[in-house]
Amino acid sequence: MKITSAKIIVTSPGRNFVTLKIQTDQGVYGIGDATLNGRELSVVSYLEDHVIPCILGMDPQRIEDIWQYLYRGAYWRRGPVTMRAIAAVDVALWDIKAKMAGMPLYQLLGGRSRDRVMVYGHANGREFAETVDAVGRYVDLGYKAIRVQTGVPGIKDAYGVGRGDLYYEPADARLPSVTGWDTRKALNYVPKMFEKLRETFGFDYHLLHDGHHRYTPQEAANLGKMLEPYQLFWLEDCTPAENQEAFKLVRQHTTTPLAVGEIFNTIWDCKDLIQNQLIDYIRATIVGAGGVTHLRRIADFASLYQVRTGCHGATDLSPVTMGTALHFDTWVPNFGIQEYMRHTPETDEIFPHDYSFEEGHLMCGETPGHGVDIDEKLAAKYPYSQACLPVARLEDGTMWNW
């Protein structure tokens, strides 16, 4: 069996998506997601210039070998561009293998570990009342777990707020727009928000919060401690994780569960965090961390330390990643939760899929493969349009982490 062609489809139904379609000499094709929000064309170039020429003629059944070839063979390892390109190939090959086997992907991975996959949605508001209303809408939609971000008085465009409710989109301008940050103001406001939410909705719902890399380890420890009475499912990205040791300080001071990893590319980014049990949930995802082949390696390693999965699932990950992640989540023994921000109806139309939502859970379908396809004619109607993620500055103008 041979790979006969590989084609890249860029489409922008409100946001950019990069999809790789691999064709074989047996007439079976597979698709993979290669979207890197705000840097889409860099992955397109990496695929076109360096990856596709190498894989043409290879045997698509040799998924592991092709993964190793693309990872080791480049000599230059890791990084978001390289690992997304590898992920796109890997997912397309798993799609092909599962289609050839006539099985939904989760069966190839080892079969079902659960009936359905608990997901969390994103609620946000500019202040308390609006945020409480937003959470209420998610409760009405049936969600059992809700990530909550709130505007903070005095902070311009606080992270995760005011960029859409069901269809959140942070990449909003050709050049990065400038948002603000003030840790003191956030620390004053965020715990009060969760107090209000627990008063209103009780403790039956899972609540989550994303610090989006804004706090120092000491500040993150303080936040985690203040949030303890509200029993969060997790506090995400409470401090930047390039220095994995930084989480020791946070861990020593709080029992609030910690999640990290949506920007991780390989097992090496989280090795110390996992083996030192500094986190509870690993957020690495299919498209970000080298596809099914590598994410499985991370999850298996994490299982040794009782760290559970919580795959990134923002809308900049296309339905191809969501569909594949749901097969992965259905199989993976140490599953925690799956993030689920809804794609717009236009996006769903371009990417027909067989997964479905019910009572706060997603279910993958039984179609052979990962269950997601692409309508190329429709995709062509939405040409690429450059959009960048914002940046953040402190009040005195200092650059901070967005």
Ligand X SMILES: O=C(O)C(=O)C[C@H](O)[C@H](O)CO
Q: Which helix (H) or strand (E) holds 92?
A: helix 80-101
Catalytic residue among 212, 312, 327, 370: 212
**Is residue 316 part of the contact set for ligand X (CB under 6 A)?**
yes
Q: Which of 60, 125, 170, 369 binds ligand X (CB under 6 A)?
A: 170
**Is residue 389 part of the contact set for ligand X (CB under 6 A)?**
yes
CA–CA dist 388, 40 (Å, integer): 10
Catalytic residue among 159, 205, 215, 355: 159
CA–CA dist 219, 215 (Å, integer): 5
- Which one, 21 or 308, has the nearer CB to Mg ion? 308
Specify the stretch interacting with ligand X by CB under 6 A; choose among 18-26, 105-113, 226-234, 310-318: 310-318
CA–CA dist 96, 21 (Å, integer): 10
Q: Which does 373 bind (CB under 5 to 8 A by kind): ligand X, Mg ion, none?
A: none
Residues within window 234-293 making contact with Mg ion, judged by CB under 5 A: 262
Of the candidates 287, 351, 340, 387, the one whose C-alpha atom is nearest the C-alpha of residue 15 is 387
- Which one, 84 or 312, has the nearer CB to ligand X? 312
Residues within window 125-164 making contact with ligand X, judged by CB under 6 A: none
**Is residue 347 part of the contact set for ligand X (CB under 6 A)?**
no
Q: Which of 33, 182, 219, 339 binds ligand X (CB under 6 A)?
A: 339
Of the candidates 285, 335, 327, 338, the one whose C-alpha atom is nearest the C-alpha of residue 307 is 335
Of the candidates 191, 122, 188, the one whose C-alpha atom is nearest the C-alpha of residue 153 is 188
The residues that bridge with 122 in the sheet, in sequence order, are 147
- Which one, 17 or 264, has the nearer CB to Mg ion? 264
Active-site residue flag, 206: no
Give the max Cα distance, the chain. Answer: 61
User: What Å distances lie between residue 30 and 2, 51, 150, 368, CA to CA?
Assistant: 13, 16, 40, 11
In angstroms, give the least distance from the CB of 169 to ligand X. Answer: 9
State whether residue 24 is helix, strand or coil: strand
Q: Which does 316 bind (CB under 5 to 8 A by kind): ligand X, Mg ion, none?
A: ligand X
Of the candidates 77, 6, 175, 158, the one whose C-alpha atom is nearest the C-alpha of residue 67 is 77
From residue 203 to residue 232, the character string flagging contacts with Mg ion as x (rule: CB under 5 A) and all else as - is: -------x----------------------
Size of the site for ligand X (CB under 6 A): 11
User: What Å distances lie between residue 153 and 98, 133, 189, 213, 318, CA to CA?
Assistant: 51, 18, 8, 20, 33
In angstroms, give the least distance from the CB of 251 to ligand X. Answer: 20
In angstroms, give the least distance from the CB of 37 to ligand X. Answer: 4
Active-site residue flag, 168: no
Residues within window 207-266 making contact with ligand X, judged by CB under 6 A: 210, 212, 236, 262
CB 192, CB 227: distance < 8 Å: no
Interacting residues with Mg ion (CB under 5 A): 210, 262
Interacting residues with ligand X (CB under 6 A): 37, 170, 210, 212, 236, 262, 312, 314, 316, 339, 389
Would you name the residues annotated as active-site residues?
159, 212
